[in-house]
Amino acid sequence: MTCNRNFFESLERRKSTVYLADNTAIQAEGIGHGWLFCVTPDGTVEKIYLTNVLYIPSLETGLLSAQRIANNGYKIMFQDDTCLTSYQKEWHRRMGHRDPEAIRKLNKEKLANGIDICKCDAENDCEICLTGKMTSTPFPKVANRAKKQIELIHSDICGPMPTATPSDHRYMMTFIDDYSRFTVVYLLKRKDEAVDRIKDYVATLHTKFGRNPVTLRTDNGREYVNQRLRNFLREKGIEHQFSAPYTPQQNGVAERKNRALVEMAKCMLTDAKLPERFWGEAVCTAAYLQNRLPSRSISKTPFELWTGIKPNVEHIRIFGSKAYSYIQKQKRRKWDNKAREGVIVGYGGSTKGYRLLNPRTNEIWISHSVKIIEDDSHMKNESAVPKGAIERSWEYDDIPKLLKKEDNVIIEDIFGPTQEELSGEVEPIKDGIEAPTLRRSRRINKGIPPKRLSYNIRATQICEPTSWEEVIKLRARERNKWIAAAEEEMTSLKRKGVFELVEPPDGCNVISSKWIFKAKRDASGEDYDEPFAPVVKHETIRTLLSIAAVKSLHVRHFDVKCAYLNAELPEKLYMEQPPGFEDTNKDMAREILTTVGFRQAKADLCLYTRKEPSRKNEAVALTFNKQLNKYIEVKDLGEVSYYLGIQIERKLDGTFLIHQKNKIMQLLERCSMQEAKPVAIPMETNYLSSLDEPSPALPDKTKYRCIIGSLLHISNVTRPDIALSVGLLCRKMETPTERDWKSAKRIIRYLAGTANAKLCLLSTNDLILRGHVDADWAGEKSSRKSTSRYIFQLGHGTIAWSMKRQTIVALSTTEAEYVALAEASRELLWLRQLLNDFGVQTPDATTLYEDNQGCIRLVESDRFGERTKHINVRFHMVKDLREKGILEVKYCPSEEMIADKLTKPVCKQQIENFTKKVGLEDYGQENEKGCWEKHSPDL
């Protein structure tokens, strides 16, 4: 409590009564938070951030609770008229929950710079350590120790881990120098990567020391005992020692190191409330910290014995602490946030700075200009005084890309110390966050509080737990939200009568249950496009919006809560009760909609229509909402703006604009390409010819497939301009190469430059269906198969497009075009039926435009000649449809053929012409103000 009003950084007015030691009552006027500046024994000033401080104007001096300080990990020493505090527990957590004896030795013997603890106890009363570490009787120590670096290297592999990292790593491989105990950790996806990692490690040692290690000691695992490794070690002159079978004690250095790293990592993850999938970062950080801590077996730190330089640990912070990293001025716009939020999961080596993690997206980046908040919100006394948000700014050499998720080695600079560790100083930054100017030391002017940040930071990123156990480990605030969401879900299940508790019959198969936690958001679109059961086709949505644009109809969207619970199961199932909850009105959607007058469409089973005599369509929508709520819980979301990952906008003239800008930005962020340089065309014009040139196979097929899958979704929904490029790369799913990966990134760069492009569905008086068809003959060189392409437009709005490899090898251009025409005619039939379901009258014959005169004559001919008699019967349906008057084929010159741009990669001018013809236009931010006004006339 204090009487100093200037102490508070934030103050909430709240009156309360406080009783002093003599039972005197005084009045508190408020409660708030602020900084306390304390002078250390060496004369420097430290800051402590105090919360829940009472403001009492009548108090003559400030009062501080020694018990609260002690409960938060500080040690208090009274010497004469001076009270000293230290923070042993904080350093214990910063150093990854390492043995207090090691920290005591580090501090007492001054083995590192940047640490000064008044008093260190050897006792360890940390509950996280007590639950996360186990001890066993040690084996006898090995008498012979190496006399210099890399004389003897120990190595071992630990795994597989029960949970894979976000990069799909399941093993860790350690290398320990016997002389210094300096440790390097590699993360592996498979054990067969061990030989490659050994080669990398030996090459690194040769670069540093100018020689190879003398001896490598391992166990008898198959990853170490193989001809490939034997040949490599023989070539490098390295002796390979093995431990006896089933005697891991003979490789005790590596075995014990693995155990120590896993124990530290486990404690750090528990302390940070991070999911188990981030064990890789925790293990690498544990190795980084152990290299800077002494042990019983050596007199100095491994880092000093390895490099000859005393380490500087001033920059060490608690694993999992919240941090804000500065975004360079060149990498943001005027109104963008100046910092991004993450948590500390490690330290850079070859690249100096902190490794920061976004737990929701699994993205990791390195930043030097960082503001760190070391809080104690997870400790037992959450209301006690949390230790200060100690700030540390490092020189910022902005790293334009996030770290690749495939990075599989701890970023530990095994060559030598960083400049900060040599001098303890950093250079000032030119464009920092609006905060105090960067200092060369941690000294601050006594009594002068730091300037407050002058920007709004982004909302906290939500971490999505993968199991109920992870939910329980979260911090109270986040944990309570997930539990409340689970309780709401269970309430919905019970209300719908989805299950009943029974004893399972003998011999029945009981299905296990698992919670899937997803953070649903608003119009940004994340996770709302992962629906249950079937969904309406994208062509249906585009057609509906085109009709609404032409007829000036209102379009509203509704959300059916727990929609999947309204379906009946065809058979009885037995399932385990959901974790955490151990101890339906089942009408089908079709039946409900039929009851309120809707008819299921023939073209799309997820489309229901109802003809309404009323001309006020908005009032009809509101009435429909009331009718539907009698049967199921429905929420009216108003005028349509977002549906299944599609962002929908409406201009004042009724025109609809659909796009997926949020999806594109998420893809850029996931691929670490936010700052990638845009390109003008999605694919290089020589891509097809370059397929004859050799290219290395891509080692990680999974990432390639994930990226292509995301691109395929975008191209199918709103971006026909990348349909060709994505389609070509889809054919390389099984055998992707570096060339294909480069081409995929080029498409992403193209999307980065055209993120504002929106597919325009114009509000004209034209509702005529037209199609453009084309094919490239023998375009695929490997199989010599052709590719069919078509585009359908309703009025001036593009509603359907496709690029598909033909199943046969066409013998001529005419035959390839004929097959493409037959495939387009199938889509034409479906679209005509869809329009009929919508109540839109279609003309007697729908026009398909074709640029091959021979194909048109073949369609119009009644005879089958020698050149066409082999064509499969199913492709002749186009003749039948023409005879019935359902379609007609007209000639269109190639230069005017829209579908022609979907047959091969084209230049910038041609792609611009194509996007203009299909209605894909770039709407900048300044034009995004044409929202639909509710002035629609009665129909």
CATH of the domain at 809: 3.30.420.10
The neighbouring-strand residues paired with 648 are 658
Structural domain includes residue 438: yes
CA–chain centroid gap for 680, Å, is 27
Per-residue pLDDT band for 618 (boundaries 50, 70, 90) equals: low
Separation of alpha carbons 160 and 211, rounded Å: 33
Structural domain includes residue 405: yes
pLDDT at 857 over 60: yes
Are 279 and 428 part of one and the same domain?
A: no
pLDDT at 424 over 60: no
Given this model, what pLDDT does residue 42 score?
58
pLDDT at 100 over 60: yes
Given this model, what pLDDT does residue 498 score?
66
**Between 571 and 854, the higher pLDDT residue:** 854
Give the end of a domain, one of 448, 463, 478.
463
Separation of alpha carbons 636 and 601, rounded Å: 23
Are 359 and 404 part of one and the same domain?
A: yes
β pairing state of 846-850 and 769-776? parallel
Per-residue pLDDT band for 608 (boundaries 50, 70, 90) equals: confident
Are 189 and 229 part of one and the same domain?
A: yes
Per-residue pLDDT band for 213 (boundaries 50, 70, 90) equals: very high
pLDDT at 66 over 90: no
The neighbouring-strand residues paired with 217 are 154, 241
Question: How many C-beta atoms surround the C-beta of residue 218 within 10 A?
Answer: 22
Per-residue pLDDT band for 531 (boundaries 50, 70, 90) equals: very low
**HEC profile of 138-193:** CCCCCCCCCCCCCCEEEEEEECCCCCCCCCCCCEEEEEEECCCCCEEEEEECCHHH
Q: Please give the structure tokens belonging to residue 53.
A: 């401080």
**Between 199 and 492, the higher pLDDT residue:** 199
pLDDT at 867 over 50: yes
Are 244 and 169 part of one and the same domain?
A: yes
List, for residues 893-915, the tens digit of each pLDDT value.
Answer: 888 888 776 667 888 888 888 88
Average pLDDT (62-76) is 70
pLDDT at 829 over 50: yes
57-66, 175-184, 795-804 — which is least confidently predicted?
A: 57-66
Please tell me the total count of domains within the chain.
Answer: 3
Give the end of a domain, one of 463, 480, 514.
463
List, for residues 668-683, the tens digit of each pLDDT value.
Answer: 888 888 888 899 999 8
70-79, 696-705, 711-720, 856-865 — which is least confidently predicted?
A: 70-79
Per-residue pLDDT band for 45 (boundaries 50, 70, 90) equals: low
Contact present, 930 and 758 (Cβ < 8 Å): no
pTM of model > 0.75: no
Structural domain includes residue 185: yes
Are 297 and 318 part of one and the same domain?
A: no
Are 901 and 833 part of one and the same domain?
A: yes
List, for residues 370-417, the tens digit of each pLDDT value.
Answer: 888 876 543 333 333 333 333 333 332 333 333 444 444 444 555 455
Per-residue pLDDT band for 181 (boundaries 50, 70, 90) equals: very high
The neighbouring-strand residues paired with 47 are 37
Structural domain includes residue 245: yes
Given this model, what pLDDT does residue 13 score?
82
Average pLDDT (770-789) is 84
Given this model, what pLDDT does residue 546 score?
84
**Cα first-last separation, the chain:** 70
List, for residues 2-35, the tens digit of each pLDDT value.
Answer: 888 878 877 888 888 888 777 778 888 888 888 7
Average pLDDT (814-833) is 89
> Helix or strand or coil: residue 644?
coil
103-112, 423-432, 873-882 — which is least confidently predicted?
A: 423-432
Contact present, 358 and 458 (Cβ < 8 Å): no
Structural domain includes residue 698: no
Given this model, what pLDDT does residue 283 score?
94
Backbone angles phi, psi at 696, to 5 degrees: -60, 145
158-167, 247-256, 882-891 — which is least confidently predicted?
A: 247-256
Secondary structure (DSSP) of 272-313: HT--GGGHHHHHHHHHHHHTTS-BTTBSS-HHHHHHSS--B-
Given this model, what pLDDT does residue 568 score?
53
Given this model, what pLDDT does residue 922 score?
80
Given this model, what pLDDT does residue 40 score?
63
Given this model, what pLDDT does residue 589 score?
63
Given this model, what pLDDT does residue 134 score?
55
Helix 279-290 vs helix 252-272: angle between axes, to the nearest 10 degrees?
Answer: 120
**Between 144 and 32, the higher pLDDT residue:** 32
**Between 492 and 676, the higher pLDDT residue:** 676
pLDDT at 439 over 50: no
pLDDT at 446 over 60: no
List, for residues 500-518, the tens digit of each pLDDT value.
Answer: 666 677 767 666 777 777 7
Separation of alpha carbons 128 and 100, rounded Å: 13
20-24, 254-258, 265-269 — which is least confidently predicted?
A: 20-24
Q: Please give the structure tokens belonging to residue 798.
A: 């593009």
DSSP letter, residue 409: B
Structural domain includes residue 146: yes
Give the end of a domain, one of 413, 447, 463.
463
Contacts of 503 by beta carbon, 8 Å cutoff, 6+ apart: none
Average pLDDT (304-312) is 89
Are 381 and 304 part of one and the same domain?
A: no
Of 257-261, 404-408, 471-475, give the range with the top mean pLDDT. Answer: 257-261
225-239, 645-659, 918-932 — which is least confidently predicted?
A: 918-932
pLDDT at 64 over 70: yes
Angle CA(133)–CA(135)–CA(136) in degrees, nearest 5? 155
Given this model, what pLDDT does residue 564 score?
52
The overall average pLDDT reported for the chain is 76
Structural domain includes residue 270: yes
Average pLDDT (759-770) is 84
Per-residue pLDDT band for 68 (boundaries 50, 70, 90) equals: confident
Are 189 and 271 part of one and the same domain?
A: yes
Are 439 and 299 part of one and the same domain?
A: no
Given this model, what pLDDT does residue 294 score?
86
Separation of alpha carbons 473 and 320, rounded Å: 14
Of 470-479, 520-529, 589-598, 884-893, give the range with the top mean pLDDT. Answer: 884-893
> Helix or strand or coil: residue 352?
coil
Per-residue pLDDT band for 138 (boundaries 50, 70, 90) equals: low
Are 882 and 799 part of one and the same domain?
A: yes
Are 359 and 250 part of one and the same domain?
A: no
Domain that holds residue 420: 312-463
Given this model, what pLDDT does residue 70 score?
66
Are 358 and 269 part of one and the same domain?
A: no
Given this model, what pLDDT does residue 582 score?
60
Q: Which of 419, 211, 399, 223 is nearest to 315 (CA)?
A: 419
792-796 LR contacts (CB < 8 Å, sep 24+): 792/827, 792/828, 792/831, 793/769, 793/918, 794/543, 794/546, 794/547, 794/767, 794/768, 794/769, 794/831, 794/835, 795/546, 795/550, 795/762, 795/764, 795/766, 795/767, 795/768, 796/762, 796/764, 796/766, 796/919
**Between 382 and 918, the higher pLDDT residue:** 918
Instruction: Return the percentage of the chain with pLDDT > 70, whole number.
Output: 73
Instruction: Return the percentage of the chain with pLDDT > 90, whole number.
Output: 17
Given this model, what pLDDT does residue 416 score?
52
Q: Please give the structure tokens belonging to residue 26.
A: 């005084």
Separation of alpha carbons 911 and 725, rounded Å: 12
Contacts of 87 by beta carbon, 8 Å cutoff, 6+ apart: 73, 74, 75, 117, 387
pLDDT at 423 over 50: no
Structural domain includes residue 635: no
Given this model, what pLDDT does residue 405 score?
40
Average pLDDT (456-485) is 69
Contact present, 880 and 828 (Cβ < 8 Å): no
